Each structure stands twice: as C-alpha cells, then as structure tokens.
Homo-oligomer: A and B are copies of this chain.
Amino acid sequence: MRAVVIGGGPAGMAAASRIRKHRPESEIIVIEKTKYVSFALCGIPYYVGGVIKSLDDLMYYPPSFFVEKRRIDLELEAVAERILPAEKKVVYRKGDEVRELEYDVLIVATGARSRLPPIPGLDNEGVLSAHHLDEGEEIRRRVLKSRRVAIIGAGLNGMEFAENIARLGKEVHVFEYFGWPLPKGLDEDMGEVMKELLSSAEVKFHFGTPVREVGRTGEALRVEAGDSSMNVDLVLVFAGVEPNVDLLREAGAEVGETGAIKVDSKMRTNLVDIYAAGDNVEAVNRVTGRPDWMPFAQIANKMGLVAGSNAAGKETDFPGAVRTWTAEVFGIEVAGTGLTEREAKEKGFDVKGVMIKGRNKAHYMPGSGYLWVKLVVSEDGTVMGVQSIGKGALARVNVAATLLPYKPKSRDLIFADVGYAPPLAPVWDPIVVAGRKIDPVL
C-alpha cells in the first residue's frame, strides 16, 4: 500500500505516523511545501518575540526523525498542484520539476491560510500576515528593524503577536473592529473584563476602531483608522483565517456549509480513498450537532489520528469537538469552549449569559486572585458554552469542554468532583459556583 499525504503539518504527520503504526509494510510519502514538518504554528509569535530562539524548536520532531525512525518519505519544498481522483494520482511541483505520484490512499491536510479583510492598501510593501514558519522568520526580521508596529485584529493571533512584539521594546498599536479583544471567543461582557485587565499592558489598544485604509507616506506606512491616522514601520494583519480547500475542491471534493471540506466521521471525503484532516476540514460541533469549522491545533491533530487509522484499515470515528480555545496574553489567562452567547443567538438558540467572579485558590492564601466564568445557558438549562478569564481559566474551561458533549445542566457542573487544596483551588471552585448561579435549588 502506498499512502500519500499532502501537508506535513500536525494533522498530516499524525496521519502518516498512524499509517506507519498500523501498516508497517506500507510506503508513505508526505508532500510539504516548506522545509518544515510537524510544526507548531502557534509558537510563531513566541519566536518573533525572542522567547523561542530557533524555528527548529517549533518542530515536534525534525524531518530526519520521520525519515529514519518512522520510514516516512518527505518531499519537502514541494507543492501539490492537482489531485486526479480517477487515476489516483497527485501532481506536484518540486523546484522546476513537475512530478506525479500514484496513491492507494491519499490524505489531504492542507490546513488554513490567513484571510485578508477588504481594507484598501493591504498590498503595500511592509504589510504582512503569518500563517507559516517561513512567514514567522520574515516577520521577526521586519519587527526587529521597526520602531512602531500596527496590528490589525485583536483575535488570538493578533494578541499573541502584540504581546511578543511589545516584549522587544517596540511601540505596538492594535486596531480592532469590535469594541473588545478576542471578539470571536469572548462575548462583550467578558470582553469588558478583559479590557480592564489589559489596561496596564504595554500596548496601545484601539478597540471599536476599524482600519479604513493602509497607505504610504514616504518610508512609513500610514494606518487610517477611526477618525485618525498614524505612521508606522510595519503592519501585521490577523483578521482571521480560512480553510485551504482549493486543491480538494478542484478535484471534486464536496465543500460543506462552513466553507471547509466535508468529511464523514471516518474523515473520508466524497472522493474514493481520499481522506482529509486538519484545519481544511469541518467536523461536528458536539454542542449543536451541526457541522462547524474549528481550526484549532488540538482538534487538527486528533483528526489526523483518525484519518490515518482509517486509511490504514483500522476503522474509528472522529466524534467532533466543542471548539475549545485558550491563550495567555499579557499575563492574562483566557479560555472558552462551545458557543458564545452572541453566536448562539445568531444560530437561533434561546440562551442567556450568566457571569460569576470567583477565586482561583483559597481566599486566605497569598496570591489568591479572581477568576471570571461566564456560562451560556439555553432555555431548558443546558450549558452550551463557557468563557473564563484569570489564572486557572483553562482548567475550568477544560472541565466544561469535557462535559459539553453530555448536554450538561447546572447539576453536572455543581457535582463535578473537582479537587480542592488551599494553594490550588478554592473549596467552592468557580465552575461549581457558576453552576449554582443557574440552579433553582442548590
């Protein structure tokens, strides 16, 4: 059996490794457009900020590991150009050469790419975005030469880059269309909490301030935002990502309602022997039961596992996910899972939001701090989403994320037997307190 994998990111390499595990005799070839495989894109901001010294550190394993230990052939700096499903072939370009490769099974893990918003002037020299390690290198070089940097978008990436660039002593301005940070993951009420906590950050935030245009004034870039204008040396755009579906769509693969590739629970596309996994694929949101596009690394990896196992003949299902996200920015931990109140309402659910402020450890312990938890609760009392801010936010969101597929009610949060010790958690854990807030009895 010959397995071909397009895309050497986490999903692709997870799939390749599973095939090797279950089919020791198979031939496995990975086509990857960069010189990296198994890369942690989420580490790029930390490379730009100098927290991580080398891009090589962002690979979980070096290419040689896959070649030597797992006998996976790597075609690096090779770009897949066409899939021919009828002939079971992939056409790809390596340097000037166009090559073909037949497959028995094909896994397409082409990931996502930055999406540029419709702002005039983003084609100016000095306007960059990052969605790959190579781009990280370029951004770092440019940032080091800059004095003042503008970031468009206060989403996860924008915030992480802002923190890391500020760490280098640069003047950083973040422009966000919405009136609060992380607007995709946080509702406005939680966004206001986050804004308050960010007030001491060494970055200038411009919330509710859409960028109208990026122009040029001599050497400098000119950012026109809100009703003012500012000269900067570099503009970074983090206004969202979109799934990289072109290759599969052109081959006849079905694209789902989310815009990402549609697969079944075995990660099979509608094309024979072609699987897809990772950020180019949609999956079931276990809160709504509907297809959702959830471009998060931990989900992509698991999709890769499932695709690889099935491609190797070991049948197994991907059950979906609940879109858990988290970040630590400017020392503030923040996390969420499931639906926000805003999104739930947009999708037609009758929900309300309930927010509590709790402690992250016993009130009498030094360093005890606050933790905010917001529940998004449907009319029948089912928790559909959770957001949290403060040290320990992810731990609380993880408990909720684990429960969401079971359609939890207040009692399920209250009676989750989460542990207590004065230095680690209060006896009434914030997730329990949040559950009590929506319980009619307890």
| Contacts of A30-88 to chain B: CB distance below 8 A | 40, 42-43, 46, 51-52, 57-58, 60
A441 & B395 in contact (Cβ 8 Å cutoff) = no
Would you call A424 and B40 a contact (CB within 8 A)? no
A114, CB-defined interface residue at 8 Å: no
Among residues of B, the one whose C-beta sits closest to the C-beta of A42 is B422
Q: Is A223 an interface residue (CB 8 A)?
A: no
Q: A43-B362, A411-B319, A441-B314 are in contact. Are A402 and B427 (CB under 8 A)?
A: no
Q: Does A298 contact B (CB under 8 A)?
A: yes
State which of B314, B337, B395, B415 has its C-beta within 8 Å of the C-beta of A417.
B337
- What B residues does A419 contact at CB under 8 A? 296, 298, 324-326, 335, 337, 394, 397-398, 401
A322 at the interface (CB under 8 A from B): yes
User: Interface with B: A127-135, A137-145, A205-213, A363-371, which one?
Assistant: A363-371
Q: Which residues of B contact A314 (CB under 8 A)?
A: 441
The contact of A364 among B43, B322, B416, B427, by CB within 8 Å, is: B43
| Nearest-Cβ distance from residue A374 to partner chain B, whole angstroms | 16
Q: Which of B52, B302, B322, B422 contacts A46 (CB 8 A)?
A: B422
- Pairwise interchain contact B365-A418, C-beta atoms closer than 8 A: no
Contacts of A10 in B (CB 8 A): 427
B442 touches A309 (CB 8 A): yes
Q: Which residues of B contact A309 (CB under 8 A)?
A: 441-442
Produce 1/0 per residue, A398-442, CB < 8 A to B. Answer: 110111101000010011111111111101110010001000011
A:351-370 near B, CB below 8 Å? 362-366
Min Cβ gap A102→B in Å is 27
* Size bracket, chain A contacts: 35 or more
Q: Tell me the chain A residues, 279-310 only, with Cβ under 8 Å from chain B.
A: 286, 296-299, 301-302, 305-306, 309
Determine if A373 is an interface residue (Cβ-Cβ < 8 Å).
Answer: no
Interface centre among A302, A325, A411, A422 (most CB of B within 10 A): A422
Q: Residue A323 at the B interface, CB < 8 A?
A: yes
Q: Is there an interface contact between A428 and B43, defined as CB atoms closer than 8 Å? A: no
A155 nearest CB across to chain B (Å): 13
Contacting residues, chain B, for A229 (C-beta < 8 A): none
Contacts of A52 in B (CB 8 A): 364-365
Asked if A421 and B362 sit within 8 Å, CB to CB, the answer is no
Interface string of A165-197 (1 = CB under 8 A from B): 000000000000000000000000000000000
Give A contacts to B, CB under 8 Å: 10, 18, 22, 40, 42-43, 46, 51-52, 57-58, 60, 286, 296-299, 301-302, 305-306, 309, 314, 316, 318-319, 321-328, 333, 335, 337, 362-366, 394-395, 397-399, 401-404, 406, 411, 414-425, 427-429, 432, 436, 441-442
